[in-house]
Structure 1
Amino acid sequence: MAGEKYPVAAVILGAGMSRRMGTAKQLLQLGKRSLLEVTITNVLHSGFSRAIGVIGHEAEQIQAEIQISDQRFQWAINKEYKKGQSTSLFTGLQEALNEGYSSVMIFLGDMPFIKRETMESVLRSGMEIGSQTEKPFMLQPEYNQIPGHPVYLGNVHEGLLQFLAGDEGAKGLKESLHIYKRLRVTDPGCVFDIDTPEVYEKAKGILREKN
């Protein structure tokens, strides 16, 4: 799949204030790279035509420390990040729509262990649904009946952005869509987000085991 170009944009949300972590988790080291850079790199290894990293808190420092040379990647600044995750989703979707993308996959910047097979499975399943309907839809992976990421949004249009509010992410958007489906996966990485110091230590242990 790597190297292919699918007409789908990836949006990576990394604008949060990391209150539970106590420091900007985007820049926490995970191996030789920062947490957000690991996530972005993993996404770019898949076949997206465009990848948009949405940042807000510590945006200047993040841009200075994370240098992505892939021409498919761009930063998008969410100046309203203090109002919640939905503002970052709004920023990313607006940027994707402005570039002509109506299909988007949403990643969280603190989820570095999603397997490539999971990304591919969600991507291909989303594209298959999109080939069968023109209505807006959402496809979400689930692990052990727990909904996870990345989330595929298909047939997105400007009118849907009005349903984004607060810190609920895509919840309000999901309730406005005609179609919502889940895809069972066997990947615990799709529900593993690093949001506390304890989970960060666990993540470093997982990485050591992999290496």
Structure 2
Amino acid sequence: MQNAPEIALVILAAGASKRMGNPKQLLPWGDSTLIEHSIKTALKVNGSPVFVVLGANFEILSEQIESYPIEVIYNCDWKQGLGTSISKAVKHITDSNLKFDGILFLLADQPFITTDYLKQMIAHFKPNKAQIIATSYNEGEKGVPVLFDAIYFKELEALNKDIGAKQVLSTHESKVEILFSGTKNIDLDTQTEYKAAYKAQFLK
């Protein structure tokens, strides 16, 4: 029987939440916060270490999550955009002594992504096949969560702008496989969007 792939889970949570007006990572979600919900979701993916990339509001956020068995990565260049968080995470992981077959990126403000879906992504992954497994949504978009084979680590480490990994997906489009999450791609960027999502989940 083939061993399960070694996958690092990276939660990207370095943004300043300017449109929200306050750190959206700390907004209530159920009995915790958005960032804690994403951490709990990731930690239930058995055997996969969890890394969290922080930038803006580093001190308050790191204090909020210090009790979880995760590794925090500080992105001092967070103002330059999402690409820098991906780059910092990949560099941190490749500089460590840990060896991974791939990295699965997810966002702290995607509370409808489930542990089962993350497990499904990993189950579809075959190491050393140059796979990219991206998430498809109802609107036909594809994006995060996204799982990259280790062959793309150098390319991901070179990212430095606010376009995230979209350019890597575009460059290697023939290697991209799509999974459907069963949810809408809801961006929680404003209070209105957050309140609507919270109401849909908890105030039915």
TM-score range, shorter chain: 0.7 to 0.9
Say if 1:138 and 1:179, in contact at 8 Å, map to a contact too: no
Distance 1:88 1:207, change over 3 A: same
Contact 2:169-2:176 within 8 A present in 1 as well: no
Partner of 2:195: 201
Task: Give the alignment's Cα RMSD to 1 decimal.
Answer: 2.3
Number of residue pairs matched?
A: 199
Q: What runs of 5+ residues in structure 1 fail to find an aligned partner?
A: none
Alpha-carbon separation, structure 1, partners of 2:143 and 2:155 = 21
Q: 1:64 to 1:187 in 2, by over 3 A?
A: same
For 2:123 and 2:133, locate their aligned partners in 1 and report how far apart those are by CA, in whole Å: 11
Distance 1:185 1:161, change over 3 A: closer
Seen in structure 2, the aligned counterparts of structure 1 residues 186 and 17 have a Cα distance that, compared at 3 Å, is closer
Contact 2:83 2:163 (C-alpha < 8 Å) held by counterparts: yes
Tell me, what secondary structure is at the counterpart of 2:199? Answer: helix
Q: Please show how residues 59-208 of structure 1 align to structure 2 within 5 Å.
A: 59-70=58-69, 73-98=70-95, 99-125=98-124, 127-128=125-126, 130=127, 133=129, 135=130, 137-144=131-138, 145-156=140-151, 158-161=153-156, 163-177=158-172, 179-188=174-183, 191-208=185-202
Deviates more, 1:108-117 or 1:142-151: 142-151
- Give the counterpart letter for 1:74 in structure 2: E
Work out whether residues 17 and 57 of structure 1, in 8 Å CA contact, stay in contact via their aligned partners in 2: yes
Q: Distance in 2 between matches of 1:43 and 1:179?
A: 28
| Structure 2: gaps of 5 or more residues | none
2:201 match: secondary structure: helix
Cα distance change, pair 56–178 in 1 and its aligned pair in 2 (3 A): same
Per-residue deviation, 1:85: 0.5
1:77, CA displacement in angstroms?
Answer: 0.3
Give, in whole Å, the separation in 1 of the partners of 2:112 and 2:123.
Answer: 19
- So what's the TM-score if we normalise by structure 2? 0.87
Contact 1:142 1:148 in 2 (8 A): yes
Q: Structure 1 186/29 Cα, relative in aligned 2: closer, same or farther at 3 Å?
A: closer
Specify the SS of the correspondent of 2:144.
coil
Moved over 4 A (4+): none
**Quick one: distance in 2 between partners of 1:22 and 1:167?**
20
1:10 partner letter: L
